[in-house]
A and B are shown apart, each in its own frame.
Chain A
Amino acid sequence: MQESAIRDEEIEILLNDLLELYGYDFTNYSKASIKRRINRLYSLDKFPSFAEFRYHLRNDAPYSKRFVEQITVNVTEMFRDPGFYKALREQVFPHLGTYPFIRIWLAGCSTGEEAYSVAIVLKELNLFDKSLLYATDINPEVLEKAEKGMFPLSQMKQYSENYILSGGKHEFSSYYSANYNLAKFDESLRSKMIFSTHNLVSDHSFNQFQLILCRNVLIYFDKDLQAKVFNLFDQSLENLGFLALGTKETLRFSSIASNFRQLNSEKIWRKV
């Protein structure tokens, strides 16, 4: 293993280019992770030098899209952390079920696995018809994938296990049809999803929600940016609404913490 080819100062230069020319602000992302992603892309695309890498980023707009897609992490799973989905099913949705209309925001939804998982839970609780799921991400490319609702068939065994552990009572395979190596999820699940680009760094609140899920996104942000995004979530949540974070993320040290109360051991907070 070589020392990172693209050094810290060069990372700063690239991130400044990205901001200046394309309006994407990654300057408040955690450095170690972004450095690794950029170096990974640099070797993946076999650039001979930093200068050439930078030239492409600056002068080739389609490449800037690839750059943004590759330096962000888009790994996700259906029913990841079954205990979390169990808490949604048993502790969050029963509260939201009393509302005439449920608006949910999945911020940083990536390729949509989480949106489809939530939709399945809502269906099983007979809440789906009065729900609307806003799934947003910084990358238009992952949203296109999310809209298709097709995931690798090879993952279904794992997802099915997760689903059962999360309290799912049905046959998981009843939600998709196998199509070569892909599992195509029931079209009706998509009928209540709205996909849109949204940049947590620069875009504002766009609605009021009863539940916001933003899992494994904040770990990539520095403390200042985390604080900013927590404020955005606070503004976008109705009173008594719920905020769900990733298993290793916490609201505890944020300035909005006093407005929220945590639910048991899961990373779910209720605005009080």
Chain B
Amino acid sequence: MAESINKSRIDLLVIGGSAGSLEVILKAFPQLTTDLPFAIILVLHRKQNTDTTLIDLLSAKTKITVIEANEKELIKAGCIYVAPADYHLLIENDHTLSLDYSEKVNFSRPCIDITFQTAAETYKDRLACLLMSGASADGVEGLELVKTLQGITAVQDPKTAEVSYMPQKALDKMEVDYIVETDKVFDFINMLAKSSELTA
């Protein structure tokens, strides 16, 4: 990555992904630093009723605690939260999680835009959002808001993403802070961890 280490400290990284994202995340997880100074939230589009399998799958790849996001749960640094299937995941001002079973947005539930938006309004410049591979435009508008509110924005490189549509759509609409190589997602997260520690 050519970019210099960002000087801002973050408290939360939200990763939004659709088709072609899970494989990349599974590959990145084993190489993540285990003492994350921030929390990670994963919002992945997927088929219904695969929750426990997904948590198990992710947990097997890292020593970091991976849990399904529970309503009212306080977001804690060093944990990875996974949005449950078929619920929107929202972030409250007091940094707790909320679930919402309202209409699908962008044909999706969970909807990446909703989590990006509520995270941006709460965490502002202490947030990073990464939009990954996918065939949907979900997450693009949310990422724009993250940028407006001074958060760090990143997309998976559409050139190497399995489905380039989603990250490319973001690049068409905005200038992001980082374009992350498909096999360097772990590097990007570890870099955020390092810069967050440095400026803690």
Contacts and interface: CB of A to CB of B under 8 A. Distances in A.
Contacts of A30: 71, 90, 92, 98
B118 A219 contact: no
15 contacts: A2-B145, A3-B120, A3-B149, A4-B117, A31-B93, A32-B90, A32-B100, A32-B118, A36-B102, A36-B118, A219-B99, A219-B101, A220-B100, A247-B84, A248-B71
Interface of B: 70-72, 84, 87, 90-93, 98-103, 113-114, 117-118, 120-121, 141-142, 144-145, 148-149
B98 A32 contact: yes
B63 to A, nearest CB: 26
Given A8-B93, A31-B93, A248-B84, A73 B70 contact: no
User: What are the 10 A-B residue pairs with the smallest beta carbon separation, nearest first?
Assistant: A1-B141, A32-B90, A1-B145, A73-B102, A33-B100, A216-B101, A30-B98, A219-B99, A32-B92, A32-B98
Contact of A73 (B101, B118, B142): B101
A1 B117 contact: yes
A36 B100 contact: yes
A248 B90 contact: no
**Range, interface on chain A:** 20 to 34
Interface in A240-257: 246-249
Contacts of A73: 100-102
If over half of A's interface residues share one DSSP class (helix, strand or loop), that class is named, otherwise mixed; here it is loop
Interface of A: 1-4, 8, 30-33, 36-37, 73, 75, 216, 219-220, 223, 246-249
Contacts of A31: 92-93
Which has the most chain B C-beta neighbours within 10 Å: A3, A36, A37? Answer: A36
Given A1-B142, A36-B118, 9 more contacts: A1-B113, A1-B145, A3-B120, A3-B121, A30-B71, A73-B101, A216-B101, A219-B99, A248-B70
A47 to B, nearest CB: 20
Contact of A1 (B70, B84, B91, B144): B144
